[in-house]
């Protein structure tokens, strides 16, 4: 199966059909990599970097393209070999960061291609390749999932409306943001330790009163990834301790990723499980966080870390230290399925993130490949990643420059 072409497809569409998330974000950009072959089979992958800086993705894909053109994909080992060649080719600038992110989309397209050729879903290929590298051996017949809810829309009653909307869609788990978001006023996140702890505990107590103890509840602090505030260790500890009575599945990103030392201390100071890792781009970047036990639950993103093999490597390392994973997923439809397959391939996956009421850049690629029953994701059945990117979808959602997301600062303000 010889590769004949490698293309980047940039699209822009509604960020979500979720009315609560739409208050904060109207549009999303997405970057897909399409690999074509002599057999007419096509592989599709996505790099989550396309959600942030789509304009640069085609140039990076074109940089790696000559490594792929004319090469045969006869075995899974060929995927690893081609990845290693691309990674080494960009050694000085893609060991971490944007170059590695783009490799995630390219490599996912190779896995999609191989799964389609062999008539098997990608997670089964990954599980066979990696099964002996995990200290535990089991296959999931289902995995619990949660609706990723973005900010906490206020006033407080609106948080309840938001969660009720997600449960009406069949979700048993929800994740809401730290602080609050008021339409027209923006975000408000407390930084004083006592104020922040009181605000988050009051919110969690309210949610528990409204929905009971059976709701799988998570809070995402987005520290370092918002434009309002970043907590230090004192505030993160105060918040985490204040949330201990409310039985969170996890508290996500309560510190900036530049401080693995503080993450390690935080995990020692609280019984609230600490989650993170969505911003880490390669195994080498994960190493310190894993060795220092910075996360109780790791959140690698298969469309952001440098490839499915890198995702599996991180998951196996975490399993070796008695840690679980809950893959991050906030890209478009291919990204969503890359993380679903990665989750099912790893025996230490405890939760999957799913965009609720997702928009057309999810639904038109996924179709019916993502099946959720009674709050659990069922194993994908279609060959490859189970996605399709049609010419109709490409024509319907042309790319709009400037629709990538970033943190607003003076001189560069996000308006989309």
Q: Report which of 17, 14, 22, 30 is spatially closest to residue 399, judged by C-alpha positions.
A: 30
**Cβ atoms within 10 Å, residue 184:** 5
CA 340/CA 145 separation, integer angstroms? 10
Position 61 scores a pLDDT of: 98
Given a contact cutoff of 8 angstroms between Cβ atoms, the answer to whether 263 and 295 are in contact is: yes
| pLDDT, mean of residues 261-272 | 97
CA 329/CA 300 separation, integer angstroms? 9
3-class SS of residue 40: coil
User: Of residues 186 and 243, which shows the higher confidence score?
Assistant: 243
CA 395/CA 343 separation, integer angstroms? 32
Question: Would you state the structure tokens that stand for residue 2, as one six-digit string?
Answer: 């010889």
Question: Would you state the structure tokens that stand for residue 7, as one six-digit string?
Answer: 């293309």
Position 186 scores a pLDDT of: 86
Q: Is the pLDDT of residue 137 over 80?
A: no
Q: Tokens 């939760």 appear where?
A: 351
Pairing of strands 216-220, 250-252: parallel
Does the pTM exceed 0.95? yes
Question: Would you state the structure tokens that stand for residue 24, as one six-digit string?
Answer: 């904060």
- b/e string for 361-380 if b means 16 or more Cβ within 10 A? bbbbbbeebbebeebbbbbb
147 DSSP assignment: E
Given a contact cutoff of 8 angstroms between Cβ atoms, the answer to whether 255 and 236 are in contact is: yes
Position 82 scores a pLDDT of: 97
CA 32/CA 57 separation, integer angstroms? 9
Over residues 311-344, the pLDDT tens digits come to 999 999 999 999 999 999 999 999 999 999 999 9
CB-based contacts of 105: which residues, under 8 Å, 6+ apart?
Answer: 31, 32, 33, 45, 46, 47, 49, 50, 57, 61, 303, 334
Q: What is the mean pLDDT of the chain?
A: 95
Spans of all domains in the chain = 3-120+392-396, 128-388
Q: Is the pLDDT of residue 185 over 90?
A: no
Question: Would you state the structure tokens that stand for residue 385, as one six-digit string?
Answer: 């990643």
Q: Is the pLDDT of residue 17 over 70?
A: yes
CB-based contacts of 285: which residues, under 8 Å, 6+ apart?
Answer: 96
Question: Would you state the structure tokens that stand for residue 113, as one six-digit string?
Answer: 């291609």
| pLDDT, mean of residues 252-269 | 96
Helices 233-242 and 260-269 pack at an angle, to 10 degrees, of: 30
Q: Which CATH superfamily is domain 3-120+392-396 in?
A: Enolase-like, N-terminal domain (3.30.390.10)
Domains 3-120+392-396 and 128-388 share a fold: no
Over residues 394-407, the pLDDT tens digits come to 999 999 999 999 88
Position 33 scores a pLDDT of: 98
Position 227 scores a pLDDT of: 64
366 DSSP assignment: H
Question: Would you state the structure tokens that stand for residue 90, as one six-digit string?
Answer: 């960009």
Q: Report which of 379, 388, 282, 295 is spatially closest to residue 333, judged by C-alpha positions.
A: 388
Helices 308-320 and 98-118 pack at an angle, to 10 degrees, of: 100
- Number of helices (H), then strands (E), belonging to the chain: the values are 13, 15
Question: Would you state the structure tokens that stand for residue 105, as one six-digit string?
Answer: 């989309």
Q: Is the pLDDT of residue 139 over 80?
A: yes
Position 266 scores a pLDDT of: 98
CATH code of 128-388, in short, is: 3.20.20.120
Position 366 scores a pLDDT of: 98
| pLDDT, mean of residues 56-62 | 98
Answer positive or negative: Cα dihedral of 364, 365, 370, 371.
positive
Q: Is the pLDDT of residue 203 over 90?
A: yes
Q: Is the pLDDT of residue 304 over 80?
A: yes
Tell me how far apart the 2 most distant CA atoms of the chain are, in Å.
Answer: 63
Helices 98-118 and 76-89 pack at an angle, to 10 degrees, of: 160
φ, ψ for residue 72, nearest 5 deg:
-90, 140
CA 121/CA 386 separation, integer angstroms? 7
Angle, alpha carbons 9-10-16 (nearest 5°) = 125
3-class SS of residue 338: helix
Over residues 188-197, the pLDDT tens digits come to 999 999 999 9
């Amino acid at each position: 199966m010889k590769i004949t072409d490698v293309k980047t497809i940039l699209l822009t569409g509604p960020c979500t059909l979720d009315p609560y998330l739409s208050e904060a974000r109207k549009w999303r950009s997405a970057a897909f990599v399409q690999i074509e072959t002599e057999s007419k089979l096509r592989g599709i992958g996505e790099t989550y970097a396309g959600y942030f800086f789509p304009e640069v993705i085609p140039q990076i894909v074109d940089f790696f393209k000559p490594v792929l053109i004319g090469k045969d994909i006869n075995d899974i080992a060929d995927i690893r070999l081609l990845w290693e060649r691309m990674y080494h080719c960009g050694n000085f600038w893609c060991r971490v960061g944007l170059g590695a992110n783009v490799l995630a989309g390219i490599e996912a397209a190779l896995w999609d291609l191989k799964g389609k050729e062999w008539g098997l879903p990608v997670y089964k290929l990954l599980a066979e390749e990696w099964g002996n590298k995990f200290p535990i051996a089991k296959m999931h017949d289902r995995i619990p999932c949660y609706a990723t809810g973005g900010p906490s829309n206020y006033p407080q009653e609106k948080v309840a409306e938001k969660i009720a909307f997600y449960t009406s869609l069949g979700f048993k788990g929800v994740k809401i943001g730290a602080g609050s978001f008021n339409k027209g006023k923006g975000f408000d996140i407390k930084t004083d330790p006592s104020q922040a702890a009181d605000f988050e505990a009051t919110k969690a107590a309210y949610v528990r009163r409204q929905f009971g103890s059976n709701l799988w509840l998570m809070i995402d602090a987005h520290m370092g990834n918002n434009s309002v505030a970043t907590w230090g260790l004192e505030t993160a500890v105060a918040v985490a301790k204040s949330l201990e009575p409310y039985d969170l599945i996890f508290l996500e990103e309560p510190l900036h990723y530049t401080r693995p030392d503080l993450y390690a201390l935080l995990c020692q100071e609280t019984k609230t499980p600490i989650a993170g890792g969505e911003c880490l781009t390669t195994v080498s970047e994960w190493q310190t966080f894993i060795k220092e036990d910075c996360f109780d639950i790791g959140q690698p993103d298969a469309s952001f870390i440098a490839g499915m093999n890198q995702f599996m490597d991180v998951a196996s390392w975490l399993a070796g230290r008695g840690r679980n994973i809950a893959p991050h997923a906030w890209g478009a439809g291919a990204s969503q399925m890359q993380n679903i397959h990665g989750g099912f391939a790893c025996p230490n996956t405890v939760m999957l993130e799913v965009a609720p009421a997702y928009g057309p850049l999810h639904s038109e690629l996924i179709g019916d490949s993502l099946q959720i029953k009674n709050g659990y994701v069922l194993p994908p059945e279609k060959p490859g990643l189970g996605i399709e990117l049609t010419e109709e979808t490409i024509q319907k959602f042309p790319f709009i420059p400037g629709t990538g997301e970033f943190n607003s600062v003076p001189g560069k303000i996000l308006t989309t």
